[in-house]
Amino acid sequence: MREIPGRRRRLLSERRNDGKPEPISAALTFATEWQWPVLPGVAPDPQGRGRCGCPDTECTVPGAHPFDPGLLAATTDARMVRWWWTNRPSAPVILATGGKAPCAVSLPALAASRALALLDRRGMRLGPVVASPTRWALLVEPYSMEQLGELLYAKDFVPGSLRFHGEGGYIALPPSETGAGTVRWERAPLPGSAAPWVPDVEAVVDAVVDALTRTGVSAPEL
C-alpha cells in the first residue's frame, strides 16, 4: 500500500497525546522511507529505572538492545514493523547497523558535546547525531571490519571510550525510551523522503580523535 502523499514527511514528528513522538511512526519512516532495517528493543524494567527487561541483571544497555526478536530479524518490511509496534507500542526502535544501513561511532555524552562544538567551529559537516543521556552516536557510511581495522591501526592513539557500531551491531534511535533515559536527535536529519546523508567513517574518526586530544577529554569508558 502506498503512503498518502505528504504523510511520509510527518511520520517522524507525529506525537501522542502526552506530546511524545510515536515510536511506530518513526520506525516506519526508518524502514520504509530510508530503508534502514529496524526491530523493537527490549523495554526498560518497569520496576526500576536504569534496569533492563531482559534476564541479564547486569545489562549494560538497559532497554536499548534487541532480545525477542533477535537482531537478525531486523527488517524494512512495513507490515512487520506495523505488527511489532502495534503489539508493543512503546518498544524502543533499534537500528541494525551495517550492510546498507548506516554504521555509527559513539562516545560518552560530555566528550561528544565538546568534540562536536570544536568540529562546528572548524566547519566540518556532520550527519545525524543520536543522543542518549550517557552516550552520543555519530552516524557514518557503512564500513567493513577490515576497513575499520586498517583505520585504527594507522592511528597512534584511539580513546578507549570510543565504540564502533558496524556490521552485526545496533543502536537505539529516537524516540526510544530506554533504561538510561530518552533517546533524541542531537543533530536531526533534514526532513524529506530520502535517507539522510552521512559522512565517511574515516573522516569522523580522524576528526573526533583529534578533537578529543585537543580538548583533553578522552573520557572514561561508559
Low-confidence ranges of the chain (pLDDT < 50): 1-11, 13, 219-222
- The position carrying cell 561528544 is 112
Q: What is the pLDDT of residue 45?
A: 67
Say if residues 126 and 119 touch (Cβ distance below 8 Å).
yes
On average, the pLDDT of the chain sits at 85
The angle subtended at Cα 88 by Cα 87 and Cα 92, nearest 5°, is 150
Does a cis peptide bond (omega within 30 degrees of 0) precede residue 69? yes
pTM of the model as a whole: 0.85
pLDDT in tens, 9-40: 444 545 555 556 689 999 999 999 999 999 99
